[in-house]
Amino acid sequence: MSSHREAPAISRDPVADNTDLYAFVSPDDPGTVTIISNYLPLEAPYGGPNFFEFGSDVRYRINIDNDGDGDADIIYEFAFETQVANPNSFLYNSGPILSIDSANWNRKQFYSVTRISRGRRQVLGAGLACPPCNIGPLSTPDYDMLASQAIHTLPGGRTVFAGQRAEGFYVDLGSIFDLGDLRPFEQLHATFGLPSLAAAAGVNGTDNFSVHSIALKVPMSDLTRRGTTPTNVSSQDSVVGVWASASRQAATVREPWSEYVHEAGEWLQVSRLGNPLFNEVLVGMGFKDLWNSLPPAADKRFAGGVQHPELAQLLPVLYPGVFPNLAKLTAPRADLVAILLTGLPAGIVPGFQNSTGSTLADMLRLNLAIPPSSKPNILGLIGGDPAGFPNGRRVFDDVVTVELRAIAGVTYPLVNSSYTPDAAAGAVTDGLTPASVNVPFLNSFPYLGTPQGGYQTAPLGTV
Amino acid sequence: MSDSTRRGFVKNSAAAAAGMTVVGALVAEQADAKAAATSGPVVAYVRDPRTGEISVMAGEREVKLQDRKIAARLARAAK
C-alpha cells in the first residue's frame, strides 16, 4: 500500500501509521496549498464500539523543507486530547449526534495546531473539535453536516480539518501482494508452475475503508523561504518538499493492576511519509523501521534501493519475456533518483522542474508556481499533466500505475535517450482508476470523500 | 507507589533487553535538580550500566547524566 502497514514496527501501531500524503495547489483556491496527511490504515466503518480516533499520546506533524536540505524549516504540529463525558457508559454515543458538540456523543476529540519555524512555536488553534466517526443513520444521520462543522478557520488565512475520511488511495492489494500479480496481465505471470490465470479486472482493496485525515490549507506564502507567492516555474524557490510524520515519547511505563500508562521523554519519530510507496517498495525489510525514525536528510543511505529497485529486477522474472529491455538495464536508475530523491531539474521535461537541489531526500516536491490543471490527468507528469504526481500529489492521482511504469523503465529515457522502454512498461497497471473508488472525491476542502457509515457497509466479500 | 511495589516494578522492568528502566524516587533524589523538581513521575533509562550514562525523563524533558555510581546501584537493585 502507499504506506499502510509498510514497516514491521509501525504495522503494530496504527494510530501513528502514516498511510498517505497529498500536497497540491488547491484547485478551487489557487493561492493556497492543501496538504493532507492520513493515518490509521484500513478502518472498517463498523469497527465499534471503540471507533477509530487519533492518538492523544502521538504528535502528528506536517513538515516543510523550503531550502532543499531535507530538514524541516516549517512544522505544523497537531496534538489531540480525548474527552469522555460519562466513563460509566460503554457507549460511544447515547443518542443521535446532530452536532459535533452534541451531549449524546460520549467520546469527543479536540486538538491544537502549532506552527514551528526557526525555533518559534505559534499556536494557531486550540480546542478544535474533530467530527465523530460515521456510525450509521441513527447515530450520525447527517454526517456531511458534522464534518462541515469540523472545518476550522485559523488565523492567517489557514483552514484545518482532522477526522475520519473515506480512503481515496486505490490499489489492488490482494493481487499485488500475491507475488506481484497484476490482474489485467496475470495471464502473463510466471505463476511458479502453478495453474495459469486468466486476465481480470482490478479490485480496489481499500474500497469502503476509512482513514483519519489531517487536512491543512495554507497560503503559499506560509510555506516558501522568502514568504512570497511563487510565480516563476523555473525558480528553485518555487519548490517545497513536504513530508508527514508521527512521533511518540521515548519511554512508556505500565503499572501493575492499573490502567495507568506513563509516557515521558523526548518525542521520537516512529512514522514518516513523503512519496507514496517509498518505504514500502524501495527499502529493505530490515531497514524499514530505521527509515521511519529518520528525517529525509538521512535518505542518502537508502539511495541504493532507488538506484537498483528490487521490483525492477523482479518484473522480468514474474512476467517472462514481457520486459526484455528492463532485464538488461543494470545501470543505476538516475531517473528514479531524480523523481523521488532530488526532484526533476530543469531541462528534463520541457517547462517543468521540481528540483530541491542535490540533497537526496524522500519528500513530496511541489512546484507552487504550476497552476492546477483544468483537465487533470490521473497519471500526472507522465500523462502530460505537470500539476500532478510527482509534482506533489492530488487525491485522485494514480500513483500505483505511475510508479509501476516508472520502475518498469518508462521514465529511464529522461536520463538516457538511447534506452527504449519495453512496450509493457507503458501499459502496466493494476487496472484501477478513481472510478474504482466507491465514495467520490470532493471538489473542495478537505477533498477526500465522506467516510462510509458502519451500518451502511457490508463486510468484505470474495472476488 | 509503595516501596514493595517499587521494588517489584524495578525487578520486572530490568528483565527487558540490555537496557533498564526504573521509576521514581530512586533516581529522582540524585538526578538533575530541574528534573527532580517535577511533580510527576520520573523515568530513568540506563542503556549500559558500565558507562554510567543515564537518561532521566520527566514530562517532555530528557536529561542525560553520567554517573557510574548511580548506574551501578540501579544495576545491583535489578539483580
Taken as a whole, chain A contains a residue count of 463
Number of C-alpha atoms within 13 angstroms, CB side, residue A310?
Answer: 11
Written as one letter, the residue type at B26 is: L
Does ipTM come in above 0.90? no
Question: CA B47 to CA B17: how far, in whole Å?
Answer: 10
Do B23 and B42 meet the contact criterion of CB atoms below 8 Å apart?
Answer: yes
A265–chain B Cβ distance below 8 A for any pair: yes
pTM (2 d.p.): 0.93
For β-strands B20-23 and B53-58, DSSP reports them as unpaired
A49–chain B Cβ distance below 8 A for any pair: no
Q: Evaluate the omega torsion of the peptide bond into residue A184 and state whether it is cis, within 30 degrees of 0.
A: no
A319: left (phi over 0), alpha (psi -120 to 50) or beta: beta
Question: CA A355 to CA A241: how far, in whole Å?
Answer: 9
B43 closest CA partner among B31, A35, B51: B31
Question: CA A240 to CA A444: how far, in whole Å?
Answer: 22
pLDDT at B27 (0 to 100): 44
The gap from C-alpha A339 to its chain's centroid, in whole angstroms, comes to 17
Q: Which residue has the cell 501493575?
A: A256
pLDDT tens-digit readout, B15-33: 333 334 444 434 444 444 4
Do A386 and A372 meet the contact criterion of CB atoms below 8 Å apart?
Answer: no
Q: Point out the residue among B5, B8, B57 whose CB comes nearest to the CB of A264.
A: B57
Mapped onto helix, strand or coil, the DSSP state of residue A129 is strand
Residues of chain A below pLDDT 50: none
Looking at the predicted structure, is the pLDDT value of residue B12 above 50? no
B43 contacts on A by Cβ (under 8 Å): 251, 253, 262, 264-265
Question: CA A252 to CA B57: how far, in whole Å?
Answer: 11
A253 contacts on B by Cβ (under 8 Å): 13, 21, 23, 41, 43
Q: Which residue has the cell 542503556?
A: B47
Written as one letter, the residue type at A57 is: D
pLDDT at B38 (0 to 100): 60
pLDDT tens-digit readout, A432-457: 999 999 999 999 999 999 999 999 99
Mapped onto helix, strand or coil, the DSSP state of residue B29 is coil
